[in-house]
Amino acid sequence: MFETLKAQPADKILALVQAYRDDPRETKIDLGVGVYKDANGLTPVMRAVKTAEHRLWEAQDTKVYTGLAGDPAFADAMIGLILSDAVPRETVAAAATPGGTGAVRQAFELIRMARPEARVFVSDPTWPNHLSILSYLGMEVVPYRYFDEETRGVDFDGMCADLRKARAGDVVLLHGCCHNPTGANPTDAEWDTVIEILRETGALPMIDIAYQGFGDGLDADAAATRKIAAAVPECLIAASCSKNFGIYRERTGLLMAISAEPAARGLNQGTLAFLNRQNFSFPPDHGARVVTMILQDEALRAGWKAELEEVRNTMLGLRRQLADTLRDLSGSDRFGFLAQHRGMFSRLGTTPDKVEELRAKHGIYMVGDSRMNIAGLNSQTVPILARAIVEVGI
């Protein structure tokens, strides 16, 4: 049987991890996969996570199954964190998933189940795994313009023109904050226009929010998600705890399905539980429990928020340092966008050849579309990167 299998394409982001590991150069710099690194290049376990894990180890007296949708306390805590009081709690069905990717996958399956002919509008570009999963599920994708290659900001006119082509029964996939891979995000006023378009077309928004707290702060980063959820009759939200709690390998995510009609919640909740059962049965619990403990405990929550702020400010500082150094070295303002972008990533906006040259000559690893993980830098490596960017002629 297995001889019929075909080799599958390697994930471009994950392939870089191995290529970087295999590079013997001591001066190499990893700006590939989206993982936060401190000034020493380590991805630390956050202090609040360590404390919660310690308490959990002491207090937990069973590993018996939770529910198919995970522990309801996790859903409550995460709904509070992401949506605050934007929509009534009784309109939100939610299920824990293996990471944010798990939530994305379950959301796509839910869409396909509800409306097999739905078209999914995705930003061009988007996180490559969105496209890969949609293609694997045989779902129709419609790209919408998003990135202006000139300004390296959002091509908002293009985005609106393309989103206006959506219809009721279609889905518009949006990045709630910190767009991956570009780092360019709509302004508040632009989000209002997106909401108008969603209401006019009747298309269902699906929001992928994987970087809350990495852009402008926990509430600011959830503002667009909250506004959208409050403004439309139905909405899907796929959330990840991988980055903002630094618990990547624990696979902790949540899928929310919101219906303004409270009577729909039972059906939505049952469907989410069913989909979990079909795909993996019970979702992972450890990360979810740790997150719940942190969000429910005032002191742990305050400690976590403070550490997340440190992480966010470190990334903002690196962005400014890189933009300033490039201005000095290039004698132009054309890299100013790096300080405007938000989140872990910025798309530098250059060709795959130049990206390859950066890797071959300078040992600098970024994704082929020129996405850089800003959190892979530190104050010593910023000037090295800046010199290399100017040297290869970007």
Residues taking part in catalysis: 127, 208, 210, 243
Q: Residue 13 or residue 52: which is nearer to ligand LMR going by CB? A: 13
Residue nearest to ligand LMR (CB): 34
Cβ-based nearer residue to ligand LMR, 182 or 201: 182
Q: In the complex with ligand LMR, which residue's Cβ is closer, 108 or 127?
A: 127
DSSP SS3 for 243: coil
* Residue 225 C-beta: closest distance to ligand LMR, Å: 18
- CB 315 → ligand LMR: shortest distance, Å? 14
Nearest to ligand LMR of 70, 181 (CB atom): 181
State the Cα–Cα distance between residues 367 and 1, nearest whole angstrom.
35
> To the nearest whole angstrom, how small is the minimum distance from the Cβ of residue 127 to ligand LMR?
5
Q: Pick the closer one to ligand LMR by CB: 170 or 250.
A: 250
DSSP 147: B
Classified as helix, coil or strand, 259 is: strand
Nearest CA-CA partner of 341 in 134, 133, 146, 181: 181
- d(CA 336, CA 113) in angstroms, rounded, equals 44
| DSSP assignments along 92-131, one per residue | EEEEEESHHHHHHHHHHHHHHHH-TT-EEEEEES--HHHH
Q: Bin 213: left if φ > 0, else alpha if -120 < ψ < 50, else beta.
A: left
Please provide the DSSP assignment of 314-371 as one string. Answer: HHHHHHHHHHHHHHHHHSSSTTTHHHH--SSEEE----HHHHHHHHHHH-EE--TT-E
- Least distance in angstroms from the C-beta of 121 to ligand LMR: 20
Reduced to 3 states (helix: H, G, I; strand: E, B; else coil), residue 373 is strand
Which H/E stretch holds residue 260? none
Give the residues across from 120 on adjacent strands.
141, 171
* Token pair 């600011």: residue: 220
Residues facing residue 93 across a β-bridge: 257
Q: Which is nearer to ligand LMR, 252 or 325 (CB)?
A: 252
Distance in Å, CB of 93 to ligand LMR, minimum: 25
Distance of closest approach, residue 344 Cβ to ligand LMR, in angstroms:
8
Binding site for ligand LMR (CB under 6 A): 13, 33-34, 127, 129, 180
